[in-house]
Structure formats: structure tokens, C-alpha cells
């Protein structure tokens, strides 16, 4: 059957419209990694941290008699331990690493194991869970959706070179630490403008406000103390108004089939169950990254495979809500 020119034009237009609509749906379904969760230093500042600052003036933090220079604080093989009485004695690999292959675990994750937005809190996690994560970093089953994210790249390139004895000593140390409230969650419509420095968001100077939009802005309570690696100075997470309530609904009811009840695997109060980790009171930036990485398929592994179904239908806004709620809980 022959088609008129007019009919052909109409069919082509309809086909193009359908293709464009389907393409739009596909693009909406695959949202790019949120910059605020995967904070990447500008190229000029994207060093590994091996270079030591020239300023050797003595530094101090509240509540500590210790003194460290900036060059000492910049040494990834020497943890600046401001509060040695606040935790058990650190094993050698946690306090000093092993030059030149393994950085000190406590440098990034801090002596109290609470970590920072760019990495993870290890305090109180089970030994078996942490050993498994190290194995998955080493095997390539655990990566980042943003290859330029230095903290994950460092875990893969440096920390997986730790031997079995060092790994066992490190995970036993962190597992024995008690997690504490570390992130203050604040619902708000406006936030200070921020930029990326030190692989995290910091408030720009002079301070100016902007709408929070569809973001979580996690930043140090006290930037100076955070930069000095003071493990008694935590973080504030600004989240959209209403996100904690929305997150609670998703977490505790499954959101009418959007996901499953998180306590099923993560236990009462989301404080962990066996080798399933606690997700209460953790960095919301970290939580969003893990949800996104699992959905994106770059974080895999046997146990992680159990998360594929719960994250399959989640949008980025859902992830924001879940992270806002879980981070507001007592760890």
C-alpha cells in the first residue's frame, strides 16, 4: 500500500515525538552523580595530600594539650592524635600506616572512627563486614560512580596493599569503637553557598545564601578544626524541608512498594544486624553515594547484591530523603 506524502510526514513526526519522549524518560531515570555527594577537588587542588605545607607554625585545638605543625598534620603516615585519651591505643597501621605503601587508616577515618563526608564512619562496624569491604575494594567489586573521587581511588590503590595481619588489627580497632552523634541535621530552604575543598563542601567567603534545591549540603561545623583533623569537631547537614518525614516513610514503610522496610536487614533503630551495617547517624553524603553506586552497578558483591531490589525504584530525591532521615537518628 502506498502512503501519501502527508501521511509519511505525520508518521515520521509521531515516531520522532515518541522517541524523544522515551529518550526523556531514560534521561530522567538515569540522573548524573550529584556533585554535592561526590565532592571532587578542582584540578589545581587535586593532589593526593603527599605534599607537606610549608607553614610549620604550631597548631592547637580546644580541649587538647597537643601541638602539631601544619606539615605534620599533612603527613598521611602520621595521625595527628589530638585526644589520645578519647580512644584505645591505635595499632601501628591505624596510627602510622606502612610507608610507602599504606596510609595510616586513622588519618582519613580519624582516631575515633567517625570519619568525614568524603569517606566513611567505621566506628562499631562488625569485623567481618569491614574485612569483606576491603576484599571488595581489592577485587574491583566496590568502586565509585565518579572515578575522580580520590578517597575511593586511594582505598583501592593504597589501602588494599595492607596485609591480612594489618587488616585484622585495623578492623578490630574500629569495630571496638562506639559511634557517637557526629552530624547535626537541619531542615532548611536556604543554605550558605559552598565550594569543594579538601574533597568536601566548605562554606564560601563572604557568606552568601542560596536555595537548597534538591541537594544535601554537608559541611564542617568548624572548618579550621576539621582541617586540623580534630576528631571532636563534627559536621552539619542541611537538608530540604520535609525530607526527614519523607525519608522516615520510605525507611519505615517502604513507601507503598518503592523500596522495602530498611529495618528488615539493618535491624532495630537501623543500628546494624549481624554483618549488615548500621546506617543510623551516618554521613548523608556517604549514604547517598552508596545508594547511587549500588543502583549504578559500580558497588557490587554478594551482600551488596541484596540491595539491588531496594534501590531499583529510588530516585535521587528518594535517596536524599532516606539519607536525611537516617542521618538524623542516634547512631
DSSP per-residue string spanning 223-287? HHHHHTT-TT--EEEEEETTHHHHHHHHHHH-TTTTS--THHHH-GGG--BTTBPP-TT--HHHH
Query: Model confidence at 47, in pLDDT bands (50, 70, 90)?
Result: low
Q: Residue 153 above 50 pLDDT?
A: yes
Per-residue confidence (pLDDT) for residue 46, from 0 to 100? 54
Question: Average of pLDDT values for 155-160?
Answer: 97
Backbone angles phi, psi at 239, to 5 degrees: -130, 155
Nearest to 154 by CA among 103, 99, 80, 197: 103
Please list the alpha-helical segments (H only) found in the chain.
Answer: 5-29, 70-73, 92-95, 105-109, 127-139, 150-157, 164-175, 223-227, 243-253, 263-266, 284-296, 308-311, 316-328
Say how many residues make up the chain: 331
| Residue 20 or 73, more confident | 73
Q: Residue 13 above 80 pLDDT?
A: no
Query: Model confidence at 10, in pLDDT bands (50, 70, 90)?
Result: very low
Q: What is the CA radius of gyration of the chain?
A: 22
Per-residue confidence (pLDDT) for residue 302, from 0 to 100? 83
Per-residue confidence (pLDDT) for residue 26, from 0 to 100? 39
Domains and CATH numbers, the chain: 43-175 (1.10.760.10), 183-328 (1.10.760.10)
What's the DSSP call for residue 58?
E
Question: Average of pLDDT values for 102-107?
Answer: 98
Task: Give the range among 13-22, 69-78, 116-125, 165-174 with minimum mean pLDDT.
Answer: 13-22
Q: Say what percent of the chain tops pLDDT 90.
A: 85
Q: Residue 53 above 70 pLDDT?
A: no
Q: Residue 65 above 90 pLDDT?
A: yes
Q: Residue 249 above 90 pLDDT?
A: yes
pLDDT tens digit sequence for 183-242: 999 999 999 999 999 999 999 999 999 999 999 999 999 999 999 999 999 999 999 999
Amino acid at each position: 500500500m502506498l502512503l501519501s506524502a502527508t501521511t509519511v510526514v505525520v508518521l515520521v513526526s509521531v515516531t520522532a515525538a515518541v522517541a524523544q519522549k522515551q529518550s526523556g524518560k531514560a534521561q530522567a531515570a538515569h540522573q548524573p552523580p550529584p556533585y554535592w555527594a561526590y565532592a571532587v577537588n578542582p584540578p589545581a587542588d587535586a593532589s593526593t595530600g603527599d605534599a607537606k605545607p610549608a607553614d610549620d607554625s604550631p597548631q592547637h585545638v580546644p580541649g587538647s594539650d597537643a601541638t602539631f605543625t601544619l606539615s605534620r598534620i599533612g603527613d598521611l603516615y602520621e595521625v595527628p592524635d589530638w585526644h589520645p585519651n578519647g580512644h584505645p591505643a591505635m595499632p601501628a597501621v591505624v596510627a602510622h600506616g606502612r610507608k610507602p605503601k599504606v596510609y595510616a587508616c586513622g588519618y582519613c577515618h580519624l582516631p575515633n572512627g567517625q570519619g568525614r563526608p568524603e569517606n566513611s564512619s567505621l566506628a562499631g562496624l562488625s569485623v567481618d563486614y569491614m574485612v569483606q569491604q576491603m576484599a571488595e575494594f581489592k577485587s574491583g567489586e566496590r568502586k565509585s560512580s565518579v572515578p575522580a573521587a580520590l578517597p575511593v581511588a586511594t582505598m583501592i590503590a593504597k589501602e588494599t596493599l595492607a596485609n591480612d595481619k594489618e587488616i585484622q588489627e585495623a578492623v578490630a580497632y574500629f569495630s571496638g569503637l562506639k559511634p557517637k552523634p557526629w552530624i547535626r541535621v537541619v531542615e532548611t530552604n536556604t543554605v550558605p553557598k559552598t565550594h569543594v575543598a579538601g574533597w568536601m563542601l566548605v562554606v564560601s567567603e563572604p557568606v552568601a545564601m542560596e536555595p537548597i534545591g534538591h541537594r544535601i549540603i554537608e559541611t564542617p561545623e568548624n572548618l579550621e578544626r576539621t582541617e586540623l583533623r580534630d576528631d571532636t569537631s563534627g559536621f552539619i547537614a542541611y537538608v530540604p524541608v520535609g525530607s526527614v518525614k519523607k525519608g522516615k516513610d520510605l525507611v519505615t514503610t517502604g513507601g507503598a512498594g518503592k523500596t522495602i522496610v530498611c529495618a528488615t536487614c539493618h535491624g532495630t533503630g537501623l543500628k546494624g544486624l549481624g554483618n549488615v551495617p548500621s546506617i543510623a547517624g551516618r554521613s548523608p553524603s556517604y549514604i547517598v553515594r552508596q545508594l547511587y553506586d549500588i543502583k549504578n552497578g559500580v558497588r557490587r558483591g554478594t551482600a551488596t547484591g541484596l540491595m539491588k531490589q531496594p534501590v531499583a525504584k529510588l530516585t535521587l530525591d528518594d535517596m536524599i530523603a532516606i539519607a536525611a532521615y537516617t542521618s538524623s537518628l542516634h547512631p
